[in-house]
Amino acid sequence: MKVCLKKKLVVCFFLFLLVSFSTFQAASIAKVAPLSNAVLKLLDGIPFALDGATIWDMMRIRHYIKIVQFGKLDPETNSYEGKYLFNGKRCTLHDLARYERSTDAEFKAKKYELESRYMDADSYQCYQEERAKVITQLESHFEQERLERQLVVERTLDDEQLVLEQLAMEESLHEYYFNEITEQDEMLKRSYIQDVENYEVAYTKLKKEQQAYREDLAPLYLMAKEDVLKILTPFSKKMAGAKKFLFKLVEEFCQKRSRPKSFLLLWSTIADGQEFVIFNKTMTSCIILDEFSTDLTHFLKDVIDSCPKGWQQFLELSKPKK
């Protein structure tokens, strides 16, 4: 019996996903043991939980996020091409993040050169040592605050007002520590720089150069973020009500993958309907968006690898229908 064209396309699409999934597995950044939380045994293969249909959705998310990150295969050139046009070239999110990193590194090198020009070697060494101590202390305080906020996770998932309060506190804390680091850094610097007025003129010029490249990247970053949101929104709605289970899995994933500050951890603690609020506030650069996308695809892979019943159901779903 012949299969209709529509069914053939569906079968081909999921065969492609299967091949892609195997390729992504081989390219994984690290080999880790499957997730072992008891939640998986309870939900693996259960309808409307981690069944074949959910694995199907996870596979689709991984596939489309990978296209945003690494491009789509062009059959004519047999190479992957991004959709974001930057400096006359088609780029992927990963390309944009790499450019952002290289430009940031260039800025830091120029900043180092500038600071060295206005300080002698001994002064510069003292400044760097004191600055490192200040940052370490502030980061320690911030980390303590973050851990204390995690203690309200269970209540947060059921209390919308507490969610809004937590979001506001999260934003204000980030802003506070950033401002504190900037302010104390400037105070230290002024105590060591020999010609503050000329230094500030040169540094202002350097900052303008950095801001200019970020302004060039901004429209492309917004496009990439919007693409990621379009991919995630339907699945996030489908997972409504399962955050308490999801948090346990994300927590184990972050421990095994050594990603203690992954945005996924915060994402899984926010009440349904509020996650995209903090997503928009947190995803502020191509680098952060690219890292989140990588964490997400690896997390979904680890969940899929840990659900043998759901995986078998997925294989059954992807078989051609006669």
Q: How many CB atoms lie within 10 A of CB 161?
A: 8
Q: Average pLDDT, stretch 275-296?
A: 87
| Of 99-103, 111-115, 156-160, 228-232, minimum mean pLDDT range | 156-160
Assigned domain for 277 exists: yes
Q: Note whether 236 and 122 are same-domain residues.
A: no
Closest CA to 209 of 97, 88, 107: 107
Q: Note whether 80 and 130 are same-domain residues.
A: no
Residue 3 pLDDT > 50: no
Confidence of residue 161 (pLDDT cuts 50, 70, 90): low
Considering only residues 181 and 28, tell me which one the structure prediction assigns the higher pLDDT. Answer: 181
Closest CA to 157 of 102, 239, 228: 239
**Domain span including residue 154:** 95-218
Assigned domain for 13 exists: no
| Of 24-38, 115-129, 238-252, 262-276, minimum mean pLDDT range | 24-38
What is residue 83's DSSP assignment?
S
Q: Note whether 255 and 144 are same-domain residues.
A: no
What's the token pair of residue 196?
């503050």
Assigned domain for 14 exists: no
Residue 74: in which H helix or E strand, if any?
strand 72-74
Assigned domain for 116 exists: yes
Tally the domains of the chain.
2
* pLDDT tens-digit series, residues 170-196: 666 666 777 777 787 878 888 888 888
CA distances from 130 to 49, 113, 123, 135 (A): 52, 19, 11, 9
- Among the three residues 218, 253, 283, which one is the final residue of a domain in this structure? 218
Q: Average pLDDT, stretch 222-240?
A: 86
Cα(279)–Cα(58) distance, integer angstroms? 19
Considering only residues 205 and 320, tell me which one the structure prediction assigns the higher pLDDT. Answer: 205
Which residues in 78-171 belong to E strands, given as ranges?
79-81, 84-86, 89-91
pTM above 0.85, yes or no: no
Assigned domain for 11 exists: no
Q: Note whether 211 and 237 are same-domain residues.
A: no
Q: Note whether 174 and 258 are same-domain residues.
A: no
Q: Note whether 208 and 106 are same-domain residues.
A: yes
